[in-house]
């Protein structure tokens, strides 16, 4: 109810309550008065009804003859006055309480927020206006809570990121140190052994180099420090060129390539170098997480929803449903894939690049062992 309507109700009650109570009391008093006192002596002449002087003389004469009746009338007047005062006080108290309660609640809520406690609920009130205020306050509380949770989540992610970076860097560094110590101690005592040791050191150094490069790209993308050189290009021709560049890699890994790229021309806004990185990361994953027997990779493109979809489907080890969202987070690697070379940054980088193109990227998988499809959607160039 609106404050103004509620106050009108209180005002009406403030009038009606004492009138009713005084009316009932007065009728009781009147009955007792008639029974108790000789009212027949209250001989008021007809003229007294229009002449107050004559009326007061007649009444005065009655009360002089019956002083108890005067006390009785005074008692009635006192009780009526008491009813008036009490009913007004009670109504005013009720009225102020109904406003005070939600305001006190808001005050308490402000104290909670100041103290960092955002886990309280608003009771609401009987007034529309105060309810609206409470609702706005509650929306603010929920937003603050969300921001607080996000901050905590980011803090946790940052710590996990640092833990993952140090872990992933530590592994190849430890192994490089081990091989160097081996050389120092003379374990690599033949030219073949020495070459093997040096090759391993070189390979491990490349892993670190890759990781540092990925890390730098990832953080530059996050900080929007990479400049994009967009041009309008046919995405179908671009994916075809990319596949040609990668054909040897697929052949080397015995991956059967199925080309379903549309023959149509589909223009999108494209930074060739960055988009090549996206497809390279997706293709690398299809190679790294391939199955042993009859691995295959199918690339399909088609135009729909005002843009172009590129599907890169492998029949490899697949991903569990719960992991599908997480794999785009920096350094996230599905359990079990840690034995395969990788930094956990490839999909995170791909996502940021695609989003900078105004597009979307996601993974689909029917589950472990059932292959994975990476979907890239890019809006058509206007």
Distance CA 23, CA 17 (A): 10
Torsions phi, psi of 268, nearest 5? Answer: -135, 165
Residue 170 beta carbon to ligand ADP: minimum distance, rounded to whole angstroms:
17
Query: Nearer to ligand ADP by C-beta: 102 or 344?
Result: 344
Among 204, 269, 333, 357, indicate the residue that binds ligand ADP (CB under 6 A): 333
According to CB under 6 A, which one of 299, 372, 376, 378 is a site residue for ligand ADP? Answer: 372
Q: How far apart are CA 285 and CA 262, in angstroms?
A: 23
Cβ closest to ligand ADP, residue 18 vs residue 346: 346
Q: Which is nearer to ligand ADP, 61 or 284 (CB)?
A: 284
Q: Is 316 in the site for ligand ADP (CB under 6 A)?
A: yes
**289-292, long-range: CB < 8 A, 24+ apart:** 289/314, 289/316, 289/317, 289/337, 289/340, 289/372, 290/253, 290/255, 290/314, 290/315, 290/316, 290/317, 291/315, 291/316, 291/317, 291/369, 291/371
Tell me which residue has tokens 């002089």: 64
Binding mask 295-314 for ligand ADP (x = CB under 6 A): -------------------x
User: Which of the stretches 38-46, 118-126, 181-189, 315-323 binds ligand ADP when contact is defined by CB under 6 A?
Assistant: 315-323
Single residue of 118, 343, 354, 361 touching ligand ADP by CB under 6 A? 343
Nearer to ligand ADP, 172 or 348 (CB): 348
Query: Six-digit token pair at 154?
Result: 């980011």
Distance separating alpha carbons of residues 177 and 189, to the nearest angstrom = 18
Q: Does 361 bind ligand ADP (CB under 6 A)?
A: no
Coil, strand or helix at 275: helix
Q: Interacting stretch for ligand ADP, rule CB under 6 A, among 49-57, 95-103, 183-191, 281-289?
A: 281-289
234 within 8 A of 274, measured Cβ to Cβ = no
Please give the residue ranges that form the binding site for ligand ADP (CB under 6 A).
281, 285-286, 288-289, 314, 316-319, 327, 332-334, 337, 342-348, 372
């Amino acid at each position: 109810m609106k404050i103004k309507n509620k106050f009108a109700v209180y005002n009406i009650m403030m009038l009606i309550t004492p009138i009713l109570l005084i009316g009932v009391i007065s009728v009781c008093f009147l009955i007792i008065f008639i029974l108790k006192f000789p009212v027949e002596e209250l001989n008021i002449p007809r003229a007294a009804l229009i002449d107050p002087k004559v009326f007061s003389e007649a009444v005065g004469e009655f009360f002089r003859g019956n002083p108890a009746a005067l006390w009785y009338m005074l008692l009635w007047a006192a009780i009526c006055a008491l009813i008036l005062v009490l009913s007004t006080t009670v109504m005013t108290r009720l009225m102020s309480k109904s406003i005070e309660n939600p305001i006190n609640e808001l005050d308490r809520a402000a104290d909670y927020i100041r103290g960092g406690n955002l886990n309280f609920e608003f009771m609401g009130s009987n007034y529309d206006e105060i309810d609206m205020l409470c609702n706005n306050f509650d929306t603010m509380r929920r937003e603050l809570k969300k921001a607080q949770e996000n901050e905590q989540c980011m803090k946790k992610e940052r710590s996990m990121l640092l833990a993952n970076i140090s872990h992933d860097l530590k592994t190849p560094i430890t192994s490089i140190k081990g091989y160097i110590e081996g050389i120092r101690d003379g374990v690599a005592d033949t030219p073949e052994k020495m070459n093997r040791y040096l090759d391993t050191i070189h390979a491990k150094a490349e892993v670190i180099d890759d990781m540092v490069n990925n890390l730098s790209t990832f953080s530059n993308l996050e900080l929007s420090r990479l400049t994009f050189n967009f041009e309008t290009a046919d995405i179908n021709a671009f994916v075809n060129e990319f596949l040609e560049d990668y054909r040897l890699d697929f052949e080397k890994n015995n991956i059967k390539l199925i080309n379903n790229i549309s023959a149509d021309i589909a223009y999108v806004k494209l930074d060739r170098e960055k988009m090549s990185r996206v497809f390279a990361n997706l293709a690398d994953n299809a190679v790294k997480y391939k199955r042993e027997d009859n691995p295959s990779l199918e690339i399909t493109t088609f135009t729909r929803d005002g843009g172009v979809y590129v599907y890169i489907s492998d029949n490899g080890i697949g991903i569990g449903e719960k992991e599908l969202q997480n794999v785009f987070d920096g350094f996230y690697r599905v359990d079990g894939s840690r034995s395969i070379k990788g930094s956990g940054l490839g999909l995170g980088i791909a996502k940021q690049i695609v989003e900078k193109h105004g597009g979307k990227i996601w993974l689909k998988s029917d589950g472990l062992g059932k292959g994975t499809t990476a979907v890239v959607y890019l809006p058509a160039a206007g």
